[in-house]
Amino acid sequence: MSTIARTQTPQGGRTRRAILEKAVDIASAEGLEGLTIGRLATELSMSKSGLIGHFGSKEELQLAVVETAREIFLESVVMPAMKADEGAPRLLGLCSHWLAYARAERFRGGCFFSAAAAEFDGRPGPVRDRIVQLMREWLDGLEAVISDAKRLGHLHRDVDAKQLAFELHALEMGANWAFQLFGDREAPARAHRAIRERLAAVSLLLVEQ
């Protein structure tokens, strides 16, 4: 109140971080609604009240879980892909890292956002709004990278960026779907093959690997 720069919250919110790590894991498998405060507290050997004290309400916990999943997605998929050169290499990098991330089972239930989007597409509220916003950002990002590739002469200039982004994203989700539902370990490779051939058909460069 007195000083402008408040002291950092003690121990840097380690408990909060541990809660969220476990929560994303559970939510990817059981859903954000199936994620229960009691269940989460038990798995962390905490009390329900001590746990929810970090967030205030279940809805705010869910929102924090979404943010955490976003951070993990960014560092698992987007940041590694950004090391690749602009244009087609970066586009292929985004797709490859996405498939690797889904295949690596970073979370128990596969891609968090595939599950969350399906769960909340029919439930209004701030959680849904945030998920929609993040998915929109992802698709817009894909589209922007495709446009870059066109500008750089990597892809044909008559490629419909929005259309191609839709198709690539659909193939990625299809891979996660088959991997999770059937345990089909070949699904990511199938999606990767489809993506490579789809890009090769509109590419002006040799598609590497």
User: Where on the chain is the footprint of a second copy (CB under 8 A)?
Assistant: 28-31, 33-34, 108-110, 114-115, 117-119, 121-123, 131-132, 135-136, 162-163, 166-167, 169-171, 173-175, 177-178, 180-182, 187, 190-191, 193-194, 201
Q: Which residues contact 186 (CB under 8 A, 6 or more apart)?
A: none
CB of 180 to a second copy, least distance (A): 4
CA 151 centroid distance within chain:
27
d(CA 32, CA 145): 31
In this structure, are residues 40 and 26 in contact, taking their beta carbons and an 8 Å threshold?
yes
When CB distances are held under 5 to 8 angstroms depending on the partner's kind, the choice from DNA, a second copy, none that residue 29 binds is a second copy
How does DSSP assign 57-94, residue by residue? SHHHHHHHHHHHHHHHHIIIIIHHHHTSPTTHHHHHHH
Beta carbon nearer to DNA, 3 or 209: 3
Residue 122 found at the interface with DNA (CB under 7 A): no
Q: H/E/C letters for each residue in 118-174?
A: HHHCCCCCHHHHHHHHHHHHHHHHHHHHHHHHHHCCCECCCCCHHHHHHHHHHHHHH
Q: Does 153 bind DNA (CB under 7 A)?
A: no
Least distance from DNA to the Cβ atom of residue 64, Å: 12
Residue with Cβ nearer a second copy (46 or 127):
127
Q: Is 5 a residue that touches DNA (CB under 7 A)? A: no
Binding residues among 58-87 for DNA as defined by CB under 7 A: 58-59
- Least distance to DNA, CB of residue 132, Å: 22
Give the range of 57-65, 102-110, 163-171, 195-203 binding DNA by CB under 7 A. Answer: 57-65
The pair of three-digit structure tokens given for residue 20, joined into one six-digit string? 């969220």
Does residue 52 bind DNA (CB under 7 A)? yes
**7 forms part of the interface with DNA (CB under 7 A):** yes
Tokens 């559970």 belong to which residue?
A: 26
| Nearest by Cα to 98 from 84, 115, 80 | 80
Could you say which of DNA, a second copy, none residue 47 binds, taking C-beta under 5 to 8 angstroms by partner kind? DNA
Binding site for DNA (CB under 7 A): 7, 9-11, 13, 15-16, 35-39, 41, 45-54, 56-59
